[in-house]
């Protein structure tokens, strides 16, 4: 199928999003943008969050890992499930009890203004880097397989797509995204199922015979029992658990949608429903990776990693109808991760950094003007960082996202854990320094421990790398840090906070703050 026809489907899809945005953003105000007027349907939120959590990275990168790592990614998925339980029954009750618009307000209630702004700062850094990495992957696929044939450069494609996202999130924010994410998740999951069914039918396979063929190729192995390996199953499960707690439970974008649901009970139903579906969907993506591997091998396609699925779907290996379904599903995976991130970053910067809800001298119109300016500024920042990822030209974006999460969500994990599980008070002004030093320390350790990974991402002198490898062997032996990096970072942050703390009553500040806030319906 020609690139021009595929581009028309992309444009048509975007028009549908604009129509949805038009109807959902009517009579919107700042509360609509930030928390959907706390009137979102929990079922829509749960379903739409699947698209936000998966994104184009899951759609392209996870299937691409099967050829080299079999089904080992499912170890991390098991950790995800445990993490969602913690979020539903530990964090959500806390957020609802305090009636939060920004979840980082908890840090202000518990520790003070510096801790509050530090938490928001790390969210902004984390989500900006994570969202732009996801955005880069999908735009890169579109540019290589469609737009390049039409003479459209990567930079132009990035600009146009970000402009599209701005257009349909500009007014409605969360109120609009709850509906557009539901639509996009539907298209993405339909594309996933259709591609799996087509490939299995083409090879005359059932689910059972596919798993048997994959087992014979050694691709269904899930658990890694090598303790020293970065993919050891306990490391992966723990890593997945704390990545979920950090990237979902301590993430304003994900929690912004949850706390837009009116009642705590419904929000918890949303989280648990979402978690079960996420496990099943991730298994389907691994199954897709397996059938893609078999299909590519049968048809002589000699690519792997992030390029495998796009090559099979768009380079004449599959029929035109499957190419169209792939493109629609890929775009559906792109928009939820980017639109939600832009909205959440705008909300966090306006509420947490600029304090527009605390500034009573601002009119509603002034607040809106500030919000729109911040929204556009983040779109520009997204553009610049995506271009930076293009310069790096990484072959496995999911590795970058998990690594970034380990460094940037660790301080958030440490701050929230210290606040929830201790009664101690801290030197609030010193919190920023602890939260900066902890990831820097872990960055140095990870650089030495995983020098081979870093060498793939940035150009390093070979002789210098050999010296670092020798140092790594003497310090760590064969032990490799994996996805549990975030946990180590959180522990270092927790210990740092302990050093700047003293005995105190953690409930004193919370009680005072709560008495000044309106009650929220808990049941």
The DSSP 8-state label assigned to residue 341 in this structure reads H
Q: How does pLDDT run across 198-257, given as a tens digit for each residue?
A: 888 888 888 888 888 888 888 889 999 988 888 889 999 998 899 889 888 888 777 877
The pLDDT tens digits for 28-80 are: 544 544 444 455 565 666 666 676 666 666 777 788 888 888 899 999 999 99
Query: Rounded CA gap, 110 and 508, in Å?
Result: 9
HSE-up of residue 357 (Cα within 13 Å, Cβ side): 15
- DSSP codes of every residue in 245-310: IIIIIT-HHHHHHHTTBS-HHHHHHHHHHHHHHHHHHHHHHHHHHHHHHHHHHHTT----GGGHHH
Higher per-residue pLDDT: 442 or 464: 442
User: Is residue 466's pLDDT more than 70?
Assistant: yes
Q: Write down the pLDDT at residue 319.
A: 79
Q: Work out the percent of the chain whose per-residue pLDDT is above 70.
A: 84
- Averaged pLDDT, 279-308: 83
Of the candidates 257, 246, 196, 199, the one whose C-alpha atom is nearest the C-alpha of residue 51 is 257
Residue 293 lies in a domain: yes
Q: Which of 5-19, 144-158, 389-403, 419-433 has the lowest mean pLDDT?
A: 389-403
pLDDT of residue 55: 64
Query: Is residue 312 over pLDDT 60?
Result: yes
pLDDT of residue 170: 60
Cα separation, 170 vs 172, in Å, equals 6
- Judged by average pLDDT, the poorest of 102-106, 127-131, 163-167 is 163-167
Q: Give the integer Cα–Cα distance in Å for 175 and 343.
A: 10
Asked if the structure places residue 415 within a domain, the reply is no
CA angle 486, 192, 77 (to 5 degrees): 25
Distance CA(30)–CA(362), nearest Å, equals 12
Read off the pLDDT of each residue in 324-330 and give the average, rounded to a whole number: 80
What percent of the chain has pLDDT above 90? 19
Mean per-residue pLDDT over the chain, rounded: 81
Model confidence band, residue 488 (pLDDT cutoffs 50, 70, 90): very high
| Within-domain flag for 471 | no
Closest C-alpha among 125, 347, 358, 115 to residue 253: 347
Mean pLDDT over 8-25 rounds to 76
List CB contacts of 438: < 8 A, sequence separation 6 or more.
410, 411, 414, 489, 492, 493, 496
For the chain, the domain total comes to 1
CA distance 153 to 144: 9
Q: At 481, which helix (H) or strand (E)?
A: none
Q: With respect to residue 459, please indicate whether it lies within any of the assigned structural domains.
A: no
In a domain, 461, yes or no: no
Q: How far apart are CA 140 and CA 136, in angstroms?
A: 6
Q: Is residue 517 part of a domain?
A: no
CA dist., res. 71 & res. 220, Å (int): 5
pTM of structure: 0.75
Least confident window among 47-61, 386-400, 435-449: 47-61
Cα-flanking dihedrals φ and ψ of residue 426, to 5°? -120, 165
Which range of 164-178, 388-402, 441-455 scores highest in mean pLDDT? It is 441-455
Smallest Cα–Cα separation from 24: which of 147, 183, 210, 153?
183
| Model pLDDT, residue 515 | 42
| Integer Cα distance of 55 and 51 in angstroms | 6
Cβ burial, residue 64 (10 Å; 0-12/13-18/19+): buried
Residue 299, phi then psi, degrees to nearest 5:
-100, 10
Higher-confidence position of 50 and 412? 412
What is d(CA 180, CA 282) in angstroms, rounded to the nearest whole number?
A: 21
Inside any domain, residue 470 = no
The tokens for 351 are 């509420």
Q: Distances in Å between the alpha carbon of 333 and those of 58, 85, 394?
A: 8, 25, 19
pLDDT at 332 > cutoff 80? no
pLDDT digits (tens, 9 = 90+) for 136-158: 877 887 887 788 888 889 999 89
CA atoms of 140 and 362, how far apart (whole Å): 42
Residue 320 falls inside a structural domain:
yes
Q: How confident is the model at residue 509 (pLDDT cuts 50, 70, 90)?
A: low
294 Rama class: left (phi>0) / alpha (psi -120 to 50) / beta: alpha
Range(s) of the domain holding residue 384: 3-24+41-394
Q: What is the DSSP string of 71-120?
A: TTHHHHHHHHHHHHHHIIIIIHHHHHHTT-SSTTHHHHHHT-HHHHHHHH
For residues 297-318, one letter each, b for 16 or more C-beta atoms within 10 angstroms of the residue's C-beta and e for the rest, the string is eeeebeebbbbbbbbbbbeeeb
Work out the pLDDT band at 518, boundaries 50, 70, 90: very low
Task: Report the CATH number that the domain containing residue 145 is assigned in CATH.
Answer: 1.20.1730.10
Task: Assign 81 a pLDDT band (cuts: 50, 70, 90).
Answer: very high
Q: At a CB cut-off of 8 Å and minimum separation 6, what does 23 contact?
A: none
């Amino acid at each position: 199928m020609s690139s021009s026809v595929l581009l028309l489907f992309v444009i048509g899809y975007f028009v549908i999003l604009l129509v949805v945005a038009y109807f959902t953003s009517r009579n919107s105000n700042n509360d609509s943008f930030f928390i959907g007027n706390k009137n979102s349907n929990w079922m829509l939120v749960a379903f739409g969050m699947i698209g936000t959590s998966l994104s184009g990275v899951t759609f392209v990168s996870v299937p691409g890992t099967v050829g080299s790592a079999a089904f080992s990614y499912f170890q991390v998925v098991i950790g995800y499930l445990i993490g969602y339980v913690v979020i539903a029954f530990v964090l959500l009750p806390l957020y609802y009890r305090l009636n939060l618009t920004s979840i980082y307000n908890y840090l202000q209630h518990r520790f003070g203004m510096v801790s509050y702004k530090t938490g928001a700062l790390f969210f902004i850094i984390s989500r900006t880097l994570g969202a732009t990495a996801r955005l880069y992957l999908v735009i890169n696929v579109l540019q290589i397989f469609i737009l390049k044939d039409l003479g459209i450069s990567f930079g132009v494609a990035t600009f146009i797509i970000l402009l599209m996202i701005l257009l349909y999130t500009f007014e409605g924010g969360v109120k609009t995204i709850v509906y557009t994410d539901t639509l996009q998740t539907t298209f993405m999951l339909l594309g996933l199922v259709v591609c799996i069914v087509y490939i299995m039918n083409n090879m005359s396979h059932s689910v059972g015979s596919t798993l048997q063929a994959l087992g014979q190729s050694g691709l269904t192995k899930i658990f890694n029992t090598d303790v020293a390996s970065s993919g050891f199953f306990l490391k992966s499960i723990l890593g997945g658990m704390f990545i979920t707690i950090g990237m979902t439970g301590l993430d304003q974008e994900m929690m912004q949608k949850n706390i837009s649901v009116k009642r705590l009970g419904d929000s918890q139903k949303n989280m648990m429903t979402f978690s079960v579906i996420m496990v099943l969907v991730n298994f389907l993506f691994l199954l897709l990776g397996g059938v893609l591997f078999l299909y590519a091998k049968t048809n002589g396609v000699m690519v792997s990693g992030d390029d495998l699925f796009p090559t099979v779907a768009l380079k004449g290996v599959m029929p035109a109808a499957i190419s169209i379904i792939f493109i629609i599903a890929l775009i559906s995976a792109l928009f939820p991760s980017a639109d939600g991130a832009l909205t959440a970053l705008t909300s966090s910067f306006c509420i947490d950094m600029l304090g527009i809800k605390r500034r009573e001298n601002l009119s509603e119109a002034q607040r809106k003007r500030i919000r729109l300016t911040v929204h556009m500024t983040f779109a520009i920042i997204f553009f610049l960082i995506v271009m930076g990822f293009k310069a790096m030209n990484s072959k496995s974006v999911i590795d970058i996202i998990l690594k970034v999460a380990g460094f940037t969500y660790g301080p958030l994990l440490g701050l929230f854990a210290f606040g929830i599980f201790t009664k101690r008070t801290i030197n609030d002004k010193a919190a920023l320094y602890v939260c900066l030093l902890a990831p820097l320390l872990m960055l140095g350790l990870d650089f030495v421990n995983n020098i081979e990974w870093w060498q793939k991402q940035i150009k390093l002198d070979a002789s210098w790398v050999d010296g670092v490898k020798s140092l790594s062997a003497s310090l760590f032996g064969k032990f490799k840090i994996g996805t549990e990096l975030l946990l180590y970072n959180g522990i270092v942050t927790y210990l740092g906070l302990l050093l700047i703390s003293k005995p105190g009553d953690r409930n004193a500040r919370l009680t005072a703050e709560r008495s000044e806030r309106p009650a929220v319906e808990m049941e």
